[in-house]
Amino acid sequence: MFERRLSVTTRFATLSRSLIAASVLMTALAFGTATRAEPAQFKRGQVVDFATSQQPGSIVIVTKDRALYYILGDAKAVKYKVATAKRGFEWSGTNAVSAKVKWPDWRPPATMRKRRPELPAFMAGGPENPLGARAIYLGSTIYRIHGTNEPASIGKAASSGCIRMHNADVSELFQHVKMGAKVTVV
């Protein structure tokens, strides 16, 4: 009983911090005070031309190209190769970064465990964890941008809906993406 109350309290505190961070970011973007990342700060991703109306600091994922673009502004973006959803698990839409976690724990959803009963109910964060080194949570959905313990899956339609990245790539993105940043999946 106590653990459940603590969990609800912890979730409320996390949600409150997320809302405050999103508010601060939106204000900064509205008044032009948000810091822009410089191309030289990125060692893993490839800086490419990418004309978009999206604000600097936002993310666009083009599933058909298996590519994630972190928007720099001035028609530039940092491009990363990703794994996307396999057939039957595809989705598109817009959300915001709601949490960022280093070496996240994994709790497979009930629907996934029904399909694959051999999966554990819980796996602590670490190198064997399917979420890899970092996870960037998208709103209140079950979807994340995360690392992987299966690097050979990058560049393929391989996930149950999440966006997978090489651990070094997601670690770099994690350093730059801000809470509340807009994420668009097309």
pLDDT tens digits, 43-98: 899 999 999 999 999 999 999 999 999 999 999 999 999 999 999 999 999 999 99
- Report long-range pairs for 145-154 (Cβ below 8 Å, ≥24 apart): 145/59, 145/61, 145/68, 145/82, 145/170, 145/173, 145/183, 146/104, 146/170, 147/171, 148/83, 153/83, 154/66, 154/81, 154/82, 154/83
Residues carrying an active site annotation? 146, 162
CA-CA-CA-CA dihedral for 123, 124, 130, 132, to nearest 10 = 180
How far from chain centre, in Å, is Cα 141? 11
pLDDT tens digits, 26-53: 444 443 434 567 776 788 999 999 999 9
| Sign of the Cα pseudo-torsion (16, 105, 141, 47, in order) | positive
Domains of the chain: 2-185 (2.40.440.10)
pLDDT at residue 36 in the model? 62
